[in-house]
Amino acid sequence: MSAVERVVPAPAGRGRGRTRGFGKLLATELKVWLRDPTAVFFALVFPSMLLLGLGLAIPAFQEPMTDAPPPWNEAPGVTSYLPTIIALAVGTISLTTMPVQFATFREKGILKRLSTTPMPPQNLIGAHMVINVLALIVSAGAAVVGGMVVLGVPLAADPLVVLLVLVLSTTAMFSLGLLVAARADKGTTASGLGMLIYFPSLMFSGVWVPLSIMPDWMREIGLFLPLGAAAQGLTIGWFGTDGFPLAQVLVLVAWTLVLFPLGVRLFRWT
């Protein structure tokens, strides 16, 4: 009757329903993500496949590292390659999988579509950050377990240091991935830009020239790149013979502090 009852009252607890449906969103996004075989292959399988393939194919990777300090002089040569493979897993997800996902959401108008619903588009990005972390755990875990079981790689000397460097590598590289996706208006644009950073990053993290035989100048440049610092820090943590990878940890923290706010600030939602 009156004008007032036709009008919807403002909700009392504003923001309370902000995360309604987040669990459902995460579960659905994960289900849909698993339907893309290419993305799943690169995010989950590619690093372990490379490790096992090279570990079984290259004779030097199977022979013990006789010139390494004990107890590593009995470990197979591929041991020094495993930390690089873990860095590769981080790099692959953050520079190939993630930017393409986010730019495609923008390209298809999914972010804009969500902003007309009570679910903020930020939560879709959040859900995919969670999915990518899960993918990384599976991918890096498979490489570690595969390396240990199939190739006889010994367990890390400082597992907690390895874990710390892995977490910091993830924050630094995911921030870089977010920045790559921040402005790209198409999935293909983000893919191209991601690849442009991905391949040099792989080079400095020892995928093509193993860290152990990398020239000093390359290693010095690598220390200041996020994925290079990641591979070096993981290697130091795995072998435990060079103390704490302080320089690498600081580099990773610095990259995160610079890249994450930049990625968030530049990210376009439409």
Partner 1 sequence: MTSPVVEVSHLRKTYPGAGRGAAPKNAVADVSFQVARGEIFGILGPNGAGKTTTVECVAGLRVPDGGAVRVLGHDPQTDPALIREHVGVQLQEAALHDKITVGEALDVFGSFYSRRADPVELLDLLDLTAHRDQQFAKLSGGQKQRLSIALALVGRPQVAILDELTTGLDPAARRATWALVERVRDSGVTVLLVTHFMDEAERLCDRLVVIDGGRVVAGGTPSALIEGLEGGRGVRLRFADDGARARAVDVLTALAERDDDVTAAAPAGDEIEVTGTRKVLFAVVQALAAADVVPDDVRTVERTLEDVFVQVTGREYRAEENEEVAA
Q: What is the H or E stretch that residue 48 is in?
A: helix 46-57
What residues numbered 89-118 form the site for partner 1, per CB under 8 A?
108-110, 112-113, 115-118
186 part of the interface to partner 1, by CB under 8 A: no
Segment interacting with partner 1, rule: CB under 8 A, options 14-22, 49-57, 76-84, 195-203: 14-22
| Least Cβ distance, residue 42 to partner 1 (angstroms) | 17
| Least Cβ distance, residue 107 to partner 1 (angstroms) | 9
Instruction: Write the single-letter amino acid at 194.
Output: G
Segment interacting with partner 1, rule: CB under 8 A, options 5-13, 59-67, 83-91, 222-230: 5-13
Give how far the C-alpha of residue 55 lies from the chain's centroid of Cα atoms, to the nearest Å.
23
265 part of the interface to partner 1, by CB under 8 A: no
| Least Cβ distance, residue 126 to partner 1 (angstroms) | 14
Segment interacting with partner 1, rule: CB under 8 A, options 18-26, 163-171, 198-206, 249-257: 18-26
The length of the chain, given as a count of residues: 270
Q: Burial level of 204, CB count in 10 A (0-12/13-18/19+)?
A: buried
Tell me the chain's radius of gyration from C-alpha atoms.
22
Euclidean distance between CA atoms 28 and 119, whole angstroms? 14
31 part of the interface to partner 1, by CB under 8 A: yes
Instruction: Write the single-letter amino acid at 144.
Output: V
Euclidean distance between CA atoms 135 and 45, whole angstroms? 10
Q: What tokens appear for 101 in the block?
A: 């996902």
Segment interacting with partner 1, rule: CB under 8 A, options 27-35, 223-231, 241-249, 252-260: 27-35
215 part of the interface to partner 1, by CB under 8 A: no
38 part of the interface to partner 1, by CB under 8 A: no
Euclidean distance between CA atoms 66 and 151, whole angstroms? 17
Segment interacting with partner 1, rule: CB under 8 A, options 24-32, 154-162, 208-216, 220-228: 24-32
* Bridge partners, residue 76, by sequence: 64
213 part of the interface to partner 1, by CB under 8 A: no
Cis peptide before 9 (omega within 30 of 0): no
CA-wise closest residue to 144 among 226, 87, 100, 192: 87
Which residues in this chain contact partner 1 in the complex, by CB under 8 A?
A: 3, 6-8, 10-11, 14-15, 17, 20-21, 24-25, 28, 31-32, 35-36, 108-110, 112-113, 115-119, 270
